[in-house]
A = this chain, B = another copy of it.
Amino acid sequence: MKPSEIHIPFCDKCAVESNSLFRHLTKDEVDKINYEKDFRHYRRGDVLYQEGNRINGFYCINGGVIKVFKTGLDGKEQIIRFAKKGDIIAYRSVISNEPACTTAEVIEDAHVCFIPAEVLFLFVKTNPAFSFELMKLTCHELEEANSYITDIAQKSVRERLAEVLLHLVEEFGLDENNYLKISLTREELSNIVGTATESVIRLLSEFKGDKLIELHGRKIKVLNAKGLEKISNVFN
């Protein structure tokens, strides 16, 4: 689909389709976002915002995939999360009124709505249900972050890679042939797992040798999810 064929999405429709936070808004509130928002297109590699930037609004993803990462030692990225249709990013910086502490970069060409900070403040202040849902969302992310800290501190790279693959299956799904719907570079994978690129490569081909996955370039076919689960030690 070329950009010219993409129409500015209606928030109410998008919110329902994507099960986003905005389904907790009233008709008038959704109209307000529709009116205030700025619809933008980005291509793979484009950066929405960078660590240290002051951002005067947040982004709601209508389509495509964004990676959100922090830059650590020697510029190595640590991917914190992905954002896809219905997800919002940068809201943390808006709420805290602090410069962004992450960078957001497009992985799959994306359509994104930029919504001014004031709109968020207004809703938070006047719509307790929305406010509560946003808080739930934040709490959920916090819980995930804490779990990941425990994982990364205690599990081996092998376990973590298996776990990451399963997370990707859960978040992005498999196509009819069991191929993971998202494709990442080996480096990106290593930046989620928190390891060296070479380690990811070696472990992936181990998994392949054990008939857990097949590799076709960046496309990963999942043959044995149960096996990956076993390796990942998800339970315990």
A150-B70, A153-B194 are contacts. A131–B124 as well, Cβ < 8 Å? yes
Counting CB contacts under 8 A, is A145 at the interface?
yes
Counting CB contacts under 8 A, is A230 at the interface?
no
Counting CB contacts under 8 A, is A80 at the interface?
yes
| Overall SS of chain A's interface | helix
With CB as the reference atom, state the residue of chain B lying closest to A195.
B153
Name the B residues within 8 Å of A233 (CB-CB).
73
Determine if A70 and B147 form an interchain contact, defined as CB atoms under 8 angstroms apart.
yes
Counting CB contacts under 8 A, is A102 at the interface?
yes
A124-B128, A131-B131, A154-B72 are contacts. A101–B143 as well, Cβ < 8 Å? yes
Number of this chain's copies in the assembly equals 2
A140-181 vs B, CB cutoff 8 Å, 1 = contact: the mask equals 111101111111111100000000000000000000000000
Counting CB contacts under 8 A, is A136 at the interface?
yes
With CB as the reference atom, state the residue of chain B lying closest to A91.
B139
Which A69-89 residues sit within 8 Å CB-CB of chain B? Answer: 70, 72-73, 76, 78, 80
Q: How large is the interface on A (under 10, 10 to 19, 20 to 34, 35 or more residues)?
A: 35 or more
Name the B residues within 8 Å of A102 (CB-CB).
146
Determine if B148 and A149 form an interchain contact, defined as CB atoms under 8 angstroms apart.
yes
With CB as the reference atom, state the residue of chain B lying closest to A131.
B131
A42-73 vs B, CB cutoff 8 Å, 1 = contact: the mask equals 00000000000000000000000000001011
Counting CB contacts under 8 A, is A218 at the interface?
no
Counting CB contacts under 8 A, is A212 at the interface?
no
Q: Which of B98, B128, B149, B194 contacts A145 (CB 8 A)?
A: B149
A98-139 vs B, CB cutoff 8 Å, 1 = contact: the mask equals 100110000000000000000000001110100110111011
Binding site for B on A (CB under 8 A): 70, 72-73, 76, 78, 80, 92, 95-96, 98, 101-102, 124-126, 128, 131-132, 134-136, 138-143, 145-155, 194-195, 233, 236
A-B contact pairs, 10 of them (CB 8 A): A73-B233, A73-B236, A92-B139, A95-B139, A96-B136, A96-B139, A142-B145, A145-B149, A148-B149, A149-B149
Besides A124-B135, A125-B132, 13 new A-B residue pairs in contact (Cβ under 8 A), listed by A number? A72-B150, A80-B150, A92-B142, A95-B139, A96-B136, A101-B143, A101-B146, A101-B147, A128-B128, A138-B139, A138-B142, A145-B149, A149-B194
